Structure 1
Amino acid sequence: MPHQAHPYVILLRAIGPATHRLMGMAQWREAAEAAGFMAPETVLNTGNMVADFAGDATATRQAMRVVLRGFGLGENVAPIVRRPALLETLIAADPIAAAAKDRPAETAVFFFASDKLDFAWLGDHDGPEKTHVVSDHLIVDFTRDVAKSSRLIRLIDKHCGLNTARSWSSMRKVAAKARDRATRQNTNAASGDE
């Protein structure tokens, strides 16, 4: 029996100018569609995609790894997969509202590949960054230029493993794309277009 298609948000780790030379966003959408991702849409230019896929999160991640390797991208360019409802949970929690509004470049949400995380180490972190854990995701108000927080970023990598971060404003844009997509799909289904 075939798997039902579900909407997913795919966030790529380690996307930047070097990877753009190997894989532009239009190329990524085309290759994803050829691999079974339905109507993939990218958001911004930083490796964010919303698409449906017939499989669970593990199968989705594996299929996207194959797509990425097809462009010659190394293992450091890794997909982290979430369901759109998770992003809505993070937005509803909104633990850094003032910072995200006033200093969006100094805020971030960290998405982790592992689902077995222990954030106890945060108890020893003495700032100046302000951290919040919401649904096993780390939300950080860096309070200053992110480049000055290399110690915290090293600790996140050490204790939490493979991860990718998005600014709060970027995460909200990805969530909005997923929300708009769901609305369009529901409208089409209601009108019998699908």
Structure 2
Amino acid sequence: MTVLIGLIRAIGPATHAKMSMQDLREGCQAAGLARVATYIQTGNLIIETRKSPATVQAIVERVLRRFDLANLVVLRRPDDLAAIVAANPFPEAAEARPSELCVCFLAATPRPESVTALAQHQGPERLAFCGDDLCVDYPTGATGSKLLPGVIERRLGTLGTARNWNTVQKLLAMAQTF
């Protein structure tokens, strides 16, 4: 059996679509995923399955469509999250302000020129790629930042979904003991 972490974009926060995580879990299980757990109300799944990642992605997307949602689903393996946590490019932020340190899980690898352009960003935010995903430290808080996930997506030319450091660590812990 393989464990996958499903990250659904734009579920739960006040400005985004809402859905019951119980309905999502039950829908995924009814669609053939062996074991499914959720974490908080923002579209985080832990999935145990024998199916391929592409099949799992299609199943989760199909379940979302049943709820009239077409949200992006990004899948990662526990090893992917473990590598990000081990790399921890901003350890002082992770310790002092974990809710202001975010990981943007990208749907596709951005073009090198887009990465170079984003790296030239002028502002208080610090950026570091960990594999295909982007860690963003918001030292003055994400609220009011000019470099929110939507801006990052436009600059990199790919969609993604962001989770704060606390959530990343919790998802990793859940996945490792699933």
| CA pair 155-19 structure 1, distance change in 2 beyond 3 A | closer
Within 1, Cα distance between the matches of 2:147 and 2:76?
A: 27
Aligned CA RMSD, in angstroms, stands at 1.7
Aligned residues: 173
| CA pair 116-145 structure 1, distance change in 2 beyond 3 A | closer
In structure 1, the partner of 2:17 is 19
Contact 1:8/1:84 (<8 A) preserved: yes
Displacement of 1:131:
0.6
| CA pair 19-152 structure 1, distance change in 2 beyond 3 A | closer
Partner of residue 170 from structure 1, selected from 167, 172, 176: 167
In structure 1, the partner of 2:88 is 94
DSSP-derived class of the 1:85 partner: helix
Within 2, Cα distance between the matches of 1:129 and 1:180?
A: 33
In structure 2, the partner of 1:187 is none
Deviations 1:23-46 (A, max 9, x none): 201111100001111110111221
Displacement of 1:121:
1.6
Higher helix share: 1
Letter in 2 for 1:25: M
Partner of residue 81 from structure 1, selected from 75, 84, 89: 75
Check if 1:55 corresponds to 2:51: yes
Larger radius of gyration: 1
Contact 2:102/2:165 (<8 A) preserved: yes
| CA pair 166-40 structure 1, distance change in 2 beyond 3 A | same
Displacement of 1:167:
0.2
Deviations 1:91-137 (A, max 9, x none): 11111111122112211000011135432223321221011111111
Partner of residue 107 from structure 2, selected from 107, 113, 121: 113
Contact 1:112/1:160 (<8 A) preserved: no
Within 1, Cα distance between the matches of 2:137 and 2:110?
A: 23
In structure 2, the partner of 1:188 is none
Q: Calculate percent identity across the aligned residue pairs.
A: 32
Displacement of 1:163:
0.6
Contact 1:40/1:49 (<8 A) preserved: yes
Contact 2:101/2:137 (<8 A) preserved: yes
TM-score by length of 2: 0.89
Letter in 1 for 2:87: A
